[in-house]
Amino acid sequence: MMIIMKANATPQQVEAVIAQVKSEGLNVHLSQGVEATIIGAIGETHSIPPDRFEGLDGVESVQRITQPYKLASRQFHPEDTRVTLDGFAVGGEEIAIIAGPCSVESRSQIVETALAVKEAGACALRGGVFKPRTSPYSFQGLGEEGLEFLAEARDRTGLPIVVEIMSQVQLELMARLVDVLQVGARNMQNFNLLRAIGEIRTPVLLKRGLSATVEELLMSAEYILSGGNRQVMLCERGIRTLETSTRNTTDINAIPVMKNLTHLPVLLDPSHSTGHADLVPAVARAAVAAGADGLIVEVHPDPAHAVSDGKQSLKPEKFAQMVDQVGQIAQVMGRRLAVVRGEHPSARQGWT
């Protein structure tokens, strides 16, 4: 960490900063230039926020040199992390396609969708049962009953299930029943939830917040990793920008950026990142061409009557076309689509 002093900083102010650096257990490297005095703070700086120094008199600014995350960093963990599900791994050569409806609406709806997306080439099933809705008056999800329907769809297809968790109080139930816990964009900085998830060992799909930077996403992953849960997958889902023709702006740059910075698998959600079903296939292809490890896509047997997100949900036949195109792009990239083994334990513990 470099602490840049103001041009007119006094020797006393420089001394005070040095004392503060030392009191944090860091070593000091002093560089007195003509333009400015720079105090290098050396050691385990990733755990020290810049605001420990920014308030000191005479300080112009504080610049990090090393990343503020460590467990998520590729620097300290060069090999790709692979999150193994049922017969396939996310983060290796395979491209994982997770698909399903925004909300679980009924037993038949989720089973029908599960069969269709598996047929089309998906390797996991998504479906929301606790829904983060902007309005208190909107449908909030089927809750525990929805989980039961999802489990049945898993039993019928062998597809592992990916379900969003919204609160610590749902954790015990969810950890027992789902294969991948999804943390949604609005909870990316719900630090209590992240910390709680760090304590268990269920794989996690952590989505980027609507206006979070890549670094903030990695810091949120660090919360989970530092608790001991290393099964973390990241997901770009679009950010809020000035553009109004789409629901969000897909940050396609974030795919290669994150592949450089971290060893964790990186997925993309083209349904939320565009908000329009007819844009999903193009952006799904782009994601894989840019190096994404997978996709999570909203598919609904009857989007027109979906209780939520119908506008951005693909019909199963359009989804199947998309999977076919994505498979061809994967091949150019030297990769292949992940295939679920399909022998998922129907006799999963804790569920009867």
Residues 206-245 that bind its own copies (CB under 8 A): 210-211, 213-216, 219, 222-223, 226, 239-245
Based on the shown chain and the rule CB under 8 A, indicate whether residue 85 belongs to the binding site for its own copies: no
Contact 182, 212 (CB under 8 A): no
Q: Which CB atom, from 83 or from 266, has the smaller least distance to its own copies?
A: 266
The residue range among 49-57, 76-84, 110-118, 143-151 that interacts with its own copies, by the rule CB under 8 A, is 49-57
Question: Could you write out the DSSP letters of every residue in 28-84?
Answer: EEEEE-SS-EEEEEESSGGGS-THHHHTSTTEEEEE-SS-S-STTBGGG--SPP-EE
Based on the shown chain and the rule CB under 8 A, indicate whether residue 282 belongs to the binding site for its own copies: yes
Based on the shown chain and the rule CB under 8 A, indicate whether residue 4 belongs to the binding site for its own copies: yes
Based on the shown chain and the rule CB under 8 A, indicate whether residue 16 belongs to the binding site for its own copies: yes
Separation between Cα atoms, residue 146 and residue 158, nearest integer Å: 17
Contacts by residues 76-81 (CB-CB < 8 Å, ≥ 24 positions apart): 77/263, 78/263, 79/263, 80/263, 80/265, 81/230, 81/232, 81/263, 81/264, 81/265
Based on the shown chain and the rule CB under 8 A, indicate whether residue 63 belongs to the binding site for its own copies: yes
Q: Which CB atom, from 114 or from 268, has the smaller least distance to its own copies?
A: 268
Q: Which CB atom, from 126 or from 300, has the smaller least distance to its own copies?
A: 300
Q: Which residues have C-beta within 8 Å of that of residue 190, sequence separation ≥ 6? A: 183
* Contacts to its own copies from residues 285-344, by CB under 8 A: 285-291, 303-313, 325, 328-329, 332
What length does the chain have? 352
Based on the shown chain and the rule CB under 8 A, indicate whether residue 22 belongs to the binding site for its own copies: no
Q: Which CB atom, from 191 or from 345, has the smaller least distance to its own copies?
A: 191
Minimum distance from residue 214 beta carbon to its own copies (Å):
5
The residue range among 34-42, 121-129, 154-162, 343-351 that interacts with its own copies, by the rule CB under 8 A, is 34-42
Based on the shown chain and the rule CB under 8 A, indicate whether residue 27 belongs to the binding site for its own copies: yes
H helix or E strand, kind and range, residue 232 = strand 232-236
User: Side-chain half-sphere of 28: how many Cα atoms within 13 Å?
Assistant: 19
Q: Which amino acid is at 137?
A: Y
Minimum distance from residue 317 beta carbon to its own copies (Å):
15
Binding to its own copies by CB under 8 A, coded x per residue (else -) over 86-125, reads ----------------------------------------
Q: Which CB atom, from 213 or from 321, has the smaller least distance to its own copies?
A: 213
Based on the shown chain and the rule CB under 8 A, indicate whether residue 199 belongs to the binding site for its own copies: no
Residue 346: DSSP 8-state:
T
Separation between Cα atoms, residue 66 and residue 38, nearest integer Å: 16
Minimum distance from residue 243 beta carbon to its own copies (Å):
6
What angle do helix axes 107-120 and 316-332 make, rounded to 10 degrees? 30
Q: By CB under 8 A, how many residues form the interface with its own copies?
A: 111
> CA of 351: how far to CAs of 147, 182, 347, in Å?
10, 20, 8
165: helix, strand or coil = strand
* Contacts to its own copies from residues 142-171, by CB under 8 A: 166-169
